[in-house]
Amino acid sequence: MSTSHMPDQLDPKSRSKLMARIRGKDTRPEMVVRRTAHAMGHRFRLHRRDLPGSPDLVFPAKRCVIFVHGCFWHRHPGCRRASNPGTRQEFWQAKFHRNVERDRRNEADLRAAGWRVGLIWECETKDIGGLRDRLHQLLDAGSTANDDA
141 vs 65: which has the higher pLDDT: 65
What does the pLDDT look like over 62-109, one tens digit per residue? 999 999 999 999 999 999 998 888 888 899 999 999 999 999 999 999
Q: What does the pLDDT read at residue 147?
A: 42
Distance between alpha carbon 53 and the CA centroid of its chain, in Å? 11
pLDDT value at 17 more than 80: no
Q: Where are the domains of the chain?
A: 24-140
Q: If you write DSSP's letter for every residue of 16-73 in order, what string do you get?
A: HHHHHT--SSS-HHHHHHHHHHHHTT---EE--TTSTT--SEEEGGGTEEEEEE-HHH
Residue range 8-20: average pLDDT? 59
Q: What does the pLDDT read at residue 25?
A: 72
Q: What does the pLDDT read at residue 88?
A: 86
What does the pLDDT look like over 30-54, one tens digit per residue? 999 999 999 999 999 999 999 999 9
Q: What is the DSSP letter of 83?
A: P
CA distances (Å), origin 46, targets 22, 28, 33, 97: 19, 15, 12, 26
Name the pTM for this structure. 0.79
pLDDT value at 6 more than 50: yes
Contact 121, 148 (CB under 8 A): yes
Q: What does the pLDDT read at residue 85?
A: 85
SS3 content of the chain, % helix, strand, coil (to 5): 45, 15, 40
pLDDT value at 113 more than 50: yes
Beta bridge partners, 5, equal 84
Helix (H) or strand (E) holding 119, with range, is strand 116-121
**Top-tier CATH class for 24-140:** alpha beta
